[in-house]
A and B are shown apart, each in its own frame.
Chain A
Amino acid sequence: MLKLSKHRWLAWLIWALAWGLMFALDETISLGSMALLLVLASAVAALWSSAWASLFSSVLSVVLFNVLFVPPKFTFHVHFLHDYFLLITMLGVSVVVSSLMWRLRRAAELEHLHATQSEQLRSLSDQLRENQDLNAHAQLLEGLMAVWGYPQARVLWDTHVTQHAQAFSLSVRGKAQQFGVVQLGAQTQPIDHLEPQASHAHMQALCDLLGLELERQQAIRSAKLANEEAQSQKLRNTLLTAIAHDYRTPLANLMGAASVIHDQGSRLPATRVGELSHTILDEAQQLNRMTNNTLQLARLDASALDVRKDWESLQELVGSVIHKSKQRFVGAQFHIDMSPHLPLLHCDAILVVQLLENLIENAVKYSPAATRIDIQVTQPLADQVRVCVRDQGPGIPDAWKERVFDAFARVDTSPLAFESHGDHTARRGVGLGLAVCRAIARVHDAKIWIEDAPQGGTAVCVAFPVRHQPEVADVMMGDTA
């Protein structure tokens, strides 16, 4: 299309050459040969000129040929009958050849146009798939409209606009709904002279492509949502079943102990009442911890918005957890190995304490009574602080090292694990602890994983990222000892 106007000068050149040659060879060659030269020029010039121009120039050249070369020269008269034939044949051949040439060229141009159009459709489709952003889509489409002579084309997503859409606008629509309109604006370059209808149809096809792609993305999104909804429904059901199961055991023990005191209190020896009330206290504390974990997991799953981070000292947090754990697990031997000069962590103290408590509780539960529990706090990398809690229990099979972090996963469902441990009651209620730990680690951009402890047993490690430390200015003048 564009080639036509660019190469029009070539047609003029051909005509000039032909006429120059004819003047040069006048009287040297026969009139018939000169006529053939003109027919050739007319045919070649038709390659680069429009249909009407080549027809006009063919007729004009025949007339001029008659005036300038056919005797008597410089008149419209023709002396000889055979010269009439020559002129008429020449006119006929010129017109036929130039119109054939023009049609040939037009067919080639149309083919080129269609190739361009399908290439545009294909590349648009690719680009739409790569990018999900509406603004980027609009820019792509506007760019393509500019190629077709509408540089002011604007994509409007607001579907309300369609109500007062302008005359020159195309709609961006899918099968079921309209997403927006393209307002074409003024056409600056009338380049679609070949088939204006076809290029409008093509622009609409581009819009339709976008519309279908938007519809497809919408369908994918809603399918994903539905899938997530189903997943979370499934998780909720699993959680509810598991919570119900986990709560029943301590509740049964509570009920049992309390009802014995209630029904037989007067007949029981004082030591037995003491034991029973101890059971009640233990089970109530167990229920309390499970409730805290369950609530925390639900809260963290719902949103991370409630996390209140501040600069905290891991030494303090670990210290306070150990202080409480020593009171809770009398007999367990805690060994703490903490690097001096640890950096401060930007974290939620309450959540990190809960994480550490869960790790220690698990370590105690999964170890033989009164064995050593190691708590190691190190800074292996400049930007990482790592807490590892090691027990001397039976360890966790590799296949379970990831799965134990799922809510209510339990290693003791495997028949091989923990068979050697008689005390079954010590192990219940672990289902949620590590899931909570993982959720807490996640809101702190920390990693949590399980490895085999060097001397057997399990090590659960958490790696917290270290942020740029805050400045502590020496606000008190002369604040030295």
Chain B
Amino acid sequence: MSLKVLLVEDDRELRQTLQGALQVEGYDVTVSGSVADAMAVLRHSSQASPAESFDILILDLGLPDGDGSTLLHWARQHYALPILIISARHDEWNKVGLLDAGADDYLVKPFSISELLARIRVALRHRGTTAVAPITHYKDGEIEIHLQRHEVLLQGQAVKLTPTEFKLLARLVRSTGQVVTHRQLLLDVWGDEFVEHTHYLRVYMAQLRNKLEDNPTEPKRLLTEPGVGYRLRESI
């Protein structure tokens, strides 16, 4: 059975383009152009059989009857489905707030369809992290990480990490492929009194890269999302 996508976007041209592209990829796409309509569609689908409920929500921020963030907060309270934000560039800081509020990932307009498909695949993989066992293992080329065994291997050799470095890496592994905001990382690794201490992240990320990247200046796995956070690249 094909995966169900709810696409909320008010621009008709872009909506049709994306709908067509997603259908070509085999998704079952429902479109909506406003906050109120999207809420009704979500409510209706969840009341029907579980098979009818959506697998992912793709959400534009600027909607005619309200901000997309209203819908995000509402959907986060009622549903466990992954939410992907698509926004214009001037929403840069708004976007960070939405990620902190529970959005799974974001794309800045204009974007290519291949980027969108990649983000959808990652978001679906993390779908229902409560139901599915969380990701505890990462392998990409020469690097292998076992969270349960507290083990990081580079070319088969164990890499020694400090407890903080390991916690930071573990947080990124659990969200492999997704951006994790500065705030989320600081909160989960250091605690809530450290959410403003972005410089801790800079220092510890540099240490992690020195230990795990061939060339720390041009990281291949521990990627920077300037102004937003970090992303551990999906293994290919």
Contact = CB atoms under 8 A, between A and B. Distances in A.
Contact of B224 (A320, A338, A480): A320
Contact of B226 (A292, A317, A475): A317
Contact of A479 (B164, B199, B218): B164
18 contacts: A284-B110, A295-B89, A311-B202, A313-B202, A315-B206, A315-B216, A316-B202, A316-B206, A317-B224, A319-B216, A319-B219, A320-B223, A320-B224, A323-B218, A336-B217, A336-B218, A476-B164, A479-B162
Nearest to B200: A472
Interface of A: 281, 284-285, 288, 292, 295, 308, 310-313, 315-320, 322-323, 336, 338, 344, 348-350, 352-353, 469-470, 472, 475-476, 478-481
A292 to B, nearest CB: 6
B163 A310 contact: no
Contacts of A336: 217-218
Nearest to A353: B226
Contacts of A318: 217
B141 interface: no
A345 B121 CA distance: 35
Contacts of B199: 311, 344, 469-470, 472
A349 B182 CA distance: 13
Interface string B136-175: 0000000000000000000000001111110000000000
B205 interface: yes
A288 B110 contact: yes
B202 A281 contact: no
Given A316-B202, A316-B226, A472-B203, 13 more contacts: A292-B89, A312-B202, A312-B226, A313-B202, A315-B216, A316-B205, A319-B217, A319-B218, A320-B224, A338-B217, A470-B197, A476-B163, A479-B164
Contacts, number: 81
Nearest to B203: A472
Contacts of B197: 470
Residue with the greatest number of chain A CB neighbours at <10 A, chosen from B92, B199, B200, B205:
B199
Interface residues of B, number: 32
B227 interface: yes
B198 interface: yes
Interface string B208-231: 000000001111000111110000
A313 B164 contact: no
Contacts of B89: 292, 295
A353 B89 CA distance: 14
A344 B197 CA distance: 13
A479 B200 contact: no
Given A317-B226, A470-B199, A322 B162 contact: no
Contact of B223 (A323, A348, A470): A323
A295 B216 contact: no
Nearest to B213: A319
Contacts of A315: 206, 216-217
B90 A313 contact: no
B162 to A, nearest CB: 5
Contacts of A479: 162-164
A310 B198 contact: yes
Contact of B198 (A311, A350, A352, A469): A311
Contacts of A288: 110
B74 interface: no
A102 B95 CA distance: 90
